[in-house]
Amino acid sequence: LSKLFNYERYNCPSKHGKFYYYSHNTGLQNQNVIFRQASLKEKENGEEFLDPNSLAADGTTSVSMLKWTEDGSILAYGVSEKGSDWVVVRFRGADKQDLHDVIKGVKHSELAWLKDNSGIFYSKYPHAKATVGKSAEKHEYHSLYFHRMGTDDEQDVLIYDKTDSPDNMITGTVTEDGKYLIIYVRSSDVPFNTMYYQELSNHKKISGKIKPKPLFDKMDAKYMYVDHDNDSMLILTNRDAPMFKLIRISLKDGSVSDVVPESKQAVLDYALPVAKDRLLIIYLEDVKIELPSRLEYYCQLWSPYKMVLAGNIKQFKINGPHVVLFEWG
């Protein structure tokens, strides 16, 4: 097995600030190392940015949940010890120095920055104690919190929970323009979720629980945010569409209309906003990923183009208005 795994590996680069960041493994390293370089020129030597292998002598400390600020000045990253699913979130500047901020006891979380880098949203169980390794202890009331940069995590604010649903999971994401906080509440029993949104125009005054507006408040399907304009949002869903479809929901009256209808031959796997007014629509068909077209905003068909890739696309990175990077295997 060691011979099979002993080969050099890179992942898809993504640009943050002045640098392209990527992970690399020489072959048998316990953890991938994060490198960066100023361009995508093949001959340029990458500079080491973060090596998880240096965090523990036995190599069992891992790094996950990487989330950059929009300007690429700060990386939030989660540190887990000895296979534990408890995470300590730390912060590293583009100068390769860690900030003083630390968030402990994070679990089953996404990370979402405010657009001005002043704070970050994350999820955890209230009053739960982190343990090394796996724990059989039952935790309830997973909740969404807000950390203001430059403060102690004991001052972090509980902003959203569901006291009537102790087993649900709550996570949040911020729209690309920083205008909205999108909140997902996921069921532990069925693969469905509800969705809510909150304007962030007064984010400097976040000091307690918020009252987000519902987008979909019935746990009857999967709902995933894609993009928005001034008065509507694009949502990828399997509601009444097992192969998924793209819908548009009005923020004014809650009316819903189909944008990309369900295909009967392929699963609509991703919908990604690119080039400000375009969408990249990705279908999964017969163990292949198909990129059938680039579409105008809210799907006025534009310059149809189809590319079939044998295999499975592992990740996408969109940098700037025109560049889409992906890797497949």
Q: With pLDDT > 90 as the criterion, what percentage of the chain qualifies? A: 63
- Give the confidence band of 203 by pLDDT, cuts at 50, 70, 90: confident
Mean pLDDT within 311-326: 61
Query: Of 198, 232, 266, which residue sits at a domain end?
Result: 232
- Partner residues linked to 68 by β-bridges: 75
For residues 63 and 173, membership in a common domain is answered with yes
**What's the rounded Cα separation, in Å, for the pair 112 and 319?**
18
**How does DSSP classify residue 220?**
S
pLDDT for 100 equals 98
Whether the per-residue pLDDT at 305 is higher than 90: the answer is no
For residues 217 and 314, membership in a common domain is answered with no
- Give the confidence band of 290 by pLDDT, cuts at 50, 70, 90: low
Whether the per-residue pLDDT at 284 is higher than 90: the answer is no
**How does DSSP classify residue 281?**
E
* Token pair listed for 127: 């009053």
Asked if 327 and 314 count as a contact pair (C-beta separation under 8 A), the reply is: yes
pTM score over 0.85: yes
For residues 63 and 191, membership in a common domain is answered with yes
For residues 177 and 319, membership in a common domain is answered with no
Whether the per-residue pLDDT at 298 is higher than 60: the answer is no
- Give the confidence band of 41 by pLDDT, cuts at 50, 70, 90: confident
Of the two residues 288 and 141, the one the predictor is more confident about is 141
For residues 143 and 214, membership in a common domain is answered with yes
**What's the rounded Cα separation, in Å, for the pair 231 and 228?**
8
Number of separate helices (H) and strands (E) present in the chain: 1, 27
Mean pLDDT within 130-149: 80
For residues 54 and 91, membership in a common domain is answered with yes
For residues 28 and 167, membership in a common domain is answered with yes
Mean pLDDT within 16-27: 92
Of the two residues 131 and 181, the one the predictor is more confident about is 181
Whether the per-residue pLDDT at 132 is higher than 80: the answer is no
pLDDT for 325 equals 60
pLDDT for 229 equals 87
Distance (Å) of CA 208 to CA 147, 160, 204: 12, 9, 12
Angle ∠(121,114,212) on CA atoms, nearest 5: 60
**How does DSSP classify residue 39?**
S
Query: Of 232, 249, 279, which residue sits at a domain end?
Result: 232
For residues 148 and 247, membership in a common domain is answered with no
For residues 240 and 222, membership in a common domain is answered with no
Decide: helix, strand or coil at residue 177.
coil
For residues 259 and 192, membership in a common domain is answered with no
For residues 224 and 280, membership in a common domain is answered with no
For residues 214 and 238, membership in a common domain is answered with no
Query: Of 215, 232, 249, which residue sits at a domain end?
Result: 232
Kind plus residue range of the DSSP H or E element containing 3: helix 2-5
Q: How many CB atoms lie within 10 A of CB 185?
A: 22
Q: Which structural domain range is residue 117 located in?
A: 2-232
Residue 188's domain is classified under what CATH number? 2.130.10.120
**pLDDT tens track for 183-196:** 999 998 889 999 99
Decide: helix, strand or coil at residue 322.
coil
Q: What is the total count of domains within the chain?
A: 2
Whether the per-residue pLDDT at 233 is higher than 60: the answer is yes
Q: With pLDDT > 70 as the criterion, what percentage of the chain qualifies? A: 83
- Tell me the pLDDT of the chain averaged across its residues: 87
